[in-house]
Amino acid sequence: MTTRDRVHNRPPPRARTAIIFSCVALLFAIPISAAATARADPSPVSPSSPSLTRSTAPAFSGLRVVGNQLLNEQDEPVQLRGMNRSGSEYMCWSSAVFDGPADAASITAIKSWHVNVVRIPLNEDCWLGINGVAPGLSGASYQQAIKDYVSLLNQQGLYAILDLHHTAPGSQQAKGQMQMPDLDHAPAFWSSVASAFKGNNSVIFEPFNEPWPGVMDTSAASWTCWRDGGSCPGLGFSYQVAGMQSLVNAIRATGATNVIVQGGLEWSNYLSTDWLVYRPSDPLNNMGATWHGYSTNLCNNVACYNSQIAPVAAQVPVIGTEIGTDTCDTPWVNTTLDWLDAHGVSYTMWTWDVWGTRVDGNPNSCASIALITDYAGTPTTPYGQTVRAHFIALP
């Protein structure tokens, strides 16, 4: 089992494939499309419009949703491209808040790849200080560490995406990924997180990392569970689920106006127009969608991107908050990133961490889905090198 799969508490990618087929300021953001740069009105743009370059990058400032675009405070369209910084979802159960450095120098190394966003996975027990997490790594200590890291990101002109990654109901410890967020703690988690970051619209909220009610089921029952929560009969839950609507409600009740982004089904790999049908109601209409793409997922080709992602991206902003490969599939990486760029879809690569998991100790193991071999930013071969070359080639 790879490091990433251990962290995500789910089968390795090849096993997931078998399951699938058996079950059936100051930064380098570029305009979303030709249509977006050719007119002043922020109406939805065609998802097939090619990206154009700017002579200057959009200013770093708070974001909001207008049509299918993320606009900054200067009404400029912003496409987010960056990294996941994994660790804060699991390290707090052992010896630290982060897996590796979280200082300004480490952020400068991330920025050197010409990115403008970092996604930070969170743990609900550690944030809330419950279920036996060490006091020095939870509650106020954990919260302050996350706040400090976000502040350092913002100081260098980087946006932040906060996602609820590890959860567990009741007194069960949040040491892995569940099918859906739990009603016991997730609403309280988001009420607290939103209160901490409201007023800073350079921070985006992703209420739950990878929903998979009913496993590979995309029926109306799974989508209803995804939105409304509850007992979700017939989908294998032993706990009360917090639906996405309840988490949106918890965020907005604090007065937070931050952009909210929601993943679909099948570990967020299944998006489709069903997302538009079942999306939660947001009184601010400040919501987008997320999609996770790995080379071994079911939706891993241009035909699927065109049929599932493009129709949603034509209506709301879409962010691929996890993109990666554990098979050294360089052609897939290039094809997928080129498609996302051409369609104005933002993305954060998995993952800016030093993970070497092969028996021979090779830190370049593609199985780890690590982009770097050290926190100075030395890329892995060939995965990290491919991603870095793509970012550096962008304006």
What is the tens place of the pLDDT at every residue in 265-294? 999 999 999 999 999 999 999 999 999 999
Kindly give, in sequence order, each residue whose CB lies less than 8 Å from that of residue 41, ignoring residues fewer than 6 positions away: none
Strand pairing category for 229-230 and 241-242: antiparallel
Nearest-angstrom CA–CA distance, 387 and 324: 9
Mean pLDDT in residue range 64-76? 98
Peptide bond into 395 cis (omega under 30): no
In the block, which residue shows the tokens 């699991």? Answer: 90
Report which of residues 181 and 52 the model is more confident about.
181
Amino acid at 353: D
More confident residue, 395 or 308: 308
Adjacent-strand bridge partners of 320 = 347
Question: How much is the mean pLDDT over the chain?
Answer: 88
Residue 84 and residue 182: Cα distance in Å, rounded?
Answer: 24
Distances (CA, A) of 208 to 5, 35, 78, 107, 190: 17, 32, 23, 24, 10
pLDDT for residue 362: 59
Residue 294 CA to residue 314 CA, distance in Å, equals 22
Using only C-alpha atoms, the chain has a radius of gyration, in whole angstroms, of: 19
Q: Evaluate if residue 259 carries a pLDDT over 80.
A: yes
Q: Which of 34, 102, 67 is nearest to 375 (CA)?
A: 102
pLDDT of residue 251: 99
Q: Looking at residues 326-344, what average pLDDT do you find?
A: 96
Amino acid identity at 342: A
Do residues 144 and 193 make contact, with C-beta atoms less than 8 angstroms apart?
no
User: How far is the first Cα of the chain from the last one, in angstroms, to the nearest whole number?
Assistant: 38
The pLDDT tens digits of the residues spanning 342-369 come to 999 999 999 999 986 444 455 556 888 9
Residues of the chain with pLDDT > 70: what percent? 84
Cα angle, residue 99 at apex, residues 353 and 341 outer, rounded to 5°: 35
Predicted local distance difference test score (pLDDT) of residue 47: 40
Strand 117-123 versus strand 81-84 pairing type: parallel
CATH code given to domain 25-393: 3.20.20.80
Handedness of CA 313, 315, 319, 323 (dihedral sign): negative
Tell me the average pLDDT across 150-167.
98
- CA 125 to chain CA mean position, Å: 19
Residue-level pLDDT at 41: 35
Position 21 pLDDT exceeds 90: no
How confident is the model at residue 353, as a pLDDT? 95
pLDDT at 198: 98
Q: For the stretch 336-368, what's the b/e string if a residue is b when 16 or more beta carbons lie within 10 angstroms of its beta carbon?
A: bbebbbebbbbbbbbbbbbbbbeeeeebbbbbb
pLDDT of residue 40 exceeding 90: no
For 174, 240, 251, 395, the CA distances from 191, given in Å and listed in that order, are: 18, 18, 5, 38
Residue type, 125: D
> Is pLDDT of 3 > 80?
no
**Eight-class DSSP state of 15:** H
Instruction: Read off φ and ψ for residue 389, nearest 5 degrees.
Output: -60, -35
Phi and psi for 160 in degrees, rounded to 5?
Answer: -130, 140
pLDDT the model gives residue 206: 99
Report which secondary-structure segment, H or E, holds 274. helix 274-278
Residue 333 pLDDT exceeds 50: yes
120-155: pLDDT as tens digits: 999 999 999 999 999 999 999 999 999 999 999 999
Name the percent of the chain lying above pLDDT 90: 81
CA 154 – CA 247 distance, rounded (Å): 25
Mean pLDDT value of segment 10-14: 35
pLDDT tens-digit readout, 286-305: 999 999 999 999 999 999 99
Q: How do residues 380-393 score in pLDDT, each as one tens digit? A: 999 999 999 999 99
Phi, psi dihedrals of residue 39, rounded to the nearest 5°: -140, 155
State residue 229's pLDDT score: 98
Determine the angle formed by the axes of helices 140-155 and 104-111, rounding to 10 degrees.
50
Over the stretch 208-251, which tens digit does the pLDDT of each residue have?
999 999 999 999 999 999 999 999 999 999 999 999 999 999 99
Position 367 scores a pLDDT of 84
Is residue 392 packed enough to be buried (19+ CB in 10 Å), middle (13-18) or exposed (0-12)?
exposed
Which two three-digit tokens encode residue 215?
């496993």
- Mean local confidence (pLDDT), 40-56: 43
Which pLDDT band, with edges at 50, 70 and 90, does 39 fall under? Answer: very low
Alpha carbon distance 10, 178 (integer Å): 9
The whole-number pLDDT of residue 366 equals 82
Could you tell me the residue ranges of all domains in the chain?
25-393
